[in-house]
Amino acid sequence: MSYQGWGYTAATGGFAGALDAEDGAGLTDGAFAVVLDGNVKFFKYNANSGLVANGTTIIAPVTNAGDGRWILQPGATDYRPIAGTITAFLPGYFTNNANGGYTSTVLTAAAINALINPGREYFCNGAACNVAGSDYYDGTGRYLPNLTDDRFFQGDTVAGVIGGSNTMAHTHAVDIASFDSGGTELTAAQNGPHDHVILSNGDGSGTYRYTGNTKYDGNDVSTESSGSGDPHSHTVNPPSTTSGPASNTENRAKFLSGFYKIQV
């Protein structure tokens, strides 16, 4: 088996660079050739084929064909990714092994498209696209996906859905339910300075007061106390409120930005 050549630009046409322009007299049975015409196609030369050339899967040399034919290999018809495939790429290099110092070799959409359009690939920048023969973009009023606005490409079961946000300012509602403080009793020391009234139990000549230590003027007295030291509670009902905005400004996962391209 021999290798005939790489990078033929067409299978037929008879011009320089076309596969059928190779002189059949110089071809070896079993030779392989690669045609790059927007796709990648592999052909194998059969010197004794004798099949009728059809210009697509069976190619006859223009000169000295005889029975020799180039036969397109099964499963090798088209190595171009299926239309609609989106891939990420970085047209540049880094200056260290930690993704630092990135330098791009193409800085504009036009430069990117100039680099990738020959392979029927387009920069995913939301531009209108009309490519003859494309499975999806053959016609007017059709736009490429726009992946230039810090947007991740998310897998889903439904295509064409947009959503999400790259900001994260938000608040939380807080409403604490009302509750009782619980019962408590005050001690004598906690009551503070105050007076108690005592009534004379003798000749009824009058009333007396004491503060702190009991004082009376010689008559027998009786004291009256008020209050039983019963416990009490207070109902607490804080007002509802909301928290302030989040302090950090980034809620996305770590990422390495790049361009997206689509095969059309």
For 175, phi and psi rounded to 5 degrees? -140, 100
For position 2, what pLDDT does the model report?
Answer: 46
Alpha carbon of 14 to those of 45, 60, 110, 197: distances in Å? 17, 10, 33, 130
pTM for this model (two decimals): 0.47
Higher-pLDDT residue of 163 and 247 is 163
Higher-pLDDT residue of 228 and 81 is 81
| 191, containing H or E segment | helix 188-191
Alpha carbon of 162 to those of 129, 148, 152: distances in Å? 20, 14, 11
The beta strands (E) that lie in 150-240 are given as 173-174, 179-180, 196-200, 207-210, 221-223, 235-236
pLDDT tens, 20-70? Answer: 999 999 999 988 888 887 778 889 999 999 999 998 889 999 999 999 999
Cα(66)–Cα(73) distance, rounded to whole angstroms?
Answer: 21
Higher-pLDDT residue of 185 and 198 is 185
Beta partners for 125? Answer: 146
Total residue count of the chain as it appears in this document: 264
pLDDT tens, 156-196? Answer: 888 888 888 777 777 777 788 877 777 666 666 666 666 66
For position 176, what pLDDT does the model report?
Answer: 81
pLDDT tens, 99-151? Answer: 999 998 888 888 888 888 877 789 999 999 998 888 899 999 999 999 888 88
For position 224, what pLDDT does the model report?
Answer: 47
